[in-house]
A and B are shown apart, each in its own frame.
Chain A
Amino acid sequence: MSCESRNGTGCGGGAACVRAHTHADAAGESRRAFLRDAAATVVSTLATGVTLYAFGAAAATAGREPSEKATSKVRWGLLIDASKCPEGCSKCVTACQVENGWRDTGHPETDAQWIRKLTVRNPKDGATFALPMMCQHCANPPCVDVCPTGASFKRADGIVLVDKHTCIGCRYCMMACPYKARSFVHEPLEGQKPHAPRGKGTVESCTLCVHRVDEGRPPACVEACNDASRGAMLFGDLNDPSSEIAKRVAAYRTTRIRADLGTDTGVYYRNI
């Protein structure tokens, strides 16, 4: 597979190239067989008129007081249905830019990209599909492993963040990330959003809109996708079996990008 980013710069392949792998181990196979049977019934009951719209029951129950710490009882995640994500739509990218205050400045090599739309093409048959790619919020994040100062960290609820107070801008995390999810700020900035501090000399990436999540609101990309009636993105608590996202992840065959690396990402894809 080869991929092109939104601004036309190819990834060039190699170890860092983002490739989709499905689970292929023996346990995965038996689980898949089970899901095939389960899916047959679930699809027939769910397929009529149900879109990826629900926020998940977690929203009501996982909401915590502003004075409470984030808890590991919750694992925030995303389920993205590539079949509902048309090429050419970049509403999620625009929403992220407006929400968090990053933008293209005409320098695609160095501009920040918290989320990008990728078009993935199979060179053998030319089949393409599109998907949004952002920080995958790994349970075993390589960026956290390599960070020499502890600035890159995983919050208790699974959101991977950069503590820019501690970040020295060494960019090891950018090299370690298999998803090319992180960006470095090269230029002095002005007019940052109060809820999304960003500054020269630090690394940044998708925060899963942590400021919104802490208020009990979904990330901006998910909201924009649903407002555009695409319904390709679903946000919720993967740890809560009654949440919409956990039900769907259990019911459908999903793919996690580069699952072979064992990063245990919090972002699941369907139909890729």
Chain B
Amino acid sequence: MTALSRQRDLTVRDGIRTKRFSLKGCIDCHAVTGADGAPVTAASPSHFCRTCHDYVAVRVDCFECHASRPETKAPAENPPGNGGAAFAQYVKGVGR
């Protein structure tokens, strides 16, 4: 837990965002899929964090703020923006 807290501070305060320091990295790999084929949230007892925490009767409060499953891209909400193209244009603009 101490190690996790340390990593947390390094990410939040210093901006170190390697997978090692990333809760997102944990979630992306350890996600458990439910009956509907979609990753379950922490509301489900089969969520990978809960399997141990339930056993020792410790409530996880990480997921009151953090997403407990990998991001599923809804097409309507995340339109296929031209983020990459726009960025290329930004960089090109520097030369002007």
| Residues of A participating in the B interface, judged by any CB pair closer than 8 Å | 50, 53-57, 59-60, 66-70, 98, 153, 155-157, 161, 163-165, 188-189, 191-195, 197-200, 202, 210-211, 214-215, 217-218, 223, 226-227, 244
Q: How far is the CB of A177 from chain B (nearest CB, A)?
A: 20
A-contact bits for B1-35, CB 8 A (1 contact / 0 none): 00000001110111111100000100100000000
- Are A226 and B86 closer than 8 Å at their CB atoms? yes
- Are A67 and B16 closer than 8 Å at their CB atoms? yes
Q: How far is the CA of A167 from the CA of B89 in the complex (A)?
A: 39
Q: How far is the CB of B69 from chain A (nearest CB, A)?
A: 8
CB-CB contacts below 8 Å: B61-96 with A: 64-67, 70-71, 77-78, 81-83, 86-87, 89-91, 93-94, 96
- What are some 9 contacts across the A-B interface (CB < 8 A)? A55-B93, A68-B16, A155-B13, A164-B65, A192-B66, A202-B65, A214-B17, A218-B87, A223-B83
Residue of B nearest to A192 (CB): B67
B interface size (C-beta, 8 A): 31
- Are B14 and A156 closer than 8 Å at their CB atoms? yes
- Are A161 and B64 closer than 8 Å at their CB atoms? no
| Dominant SS among interface residues on chain B | helix
Kindly list chain A residues whose C-beta atoms are within 8 Å of the C-beta of B96.
Answer: 50, 54
- Are B86 and A223 closer than 8 Å at their CB atoms? yes
Kindly list chain B residues whose C-beta atoms are within 8 Å of the C-beta of A157.
Answer: 15
Kindly list chain A residues whose C-beta atoms are within 8 Å of the C-beta of B13.
Answer: 153, 155, 163
Residue of B nearest to A216 (CB): B87
Q: A223-B83, A244-B94 provided; 4 other pairs, C-beta below 8 A?
A: A54-B94, A54-B96, A194-B66, A223-B81
Q: How far is the CA of A193 from the CA of B81 in the complex (A)?
A: 17
Q: How far is the CA of A214 from the CA of B15 in the complex (A)?
A: 7
Given contacts A98-B77, A194-B27, A223-B83, is CB(A218)–CB(B90) below 8 Å? Answer: yes
Residue among B18, B24, B87 making CB contact with A55, cutoff 8 Å: B87
Q: How far is the CA of A239 from the CA of B69 in the complex (A)?
A: 38
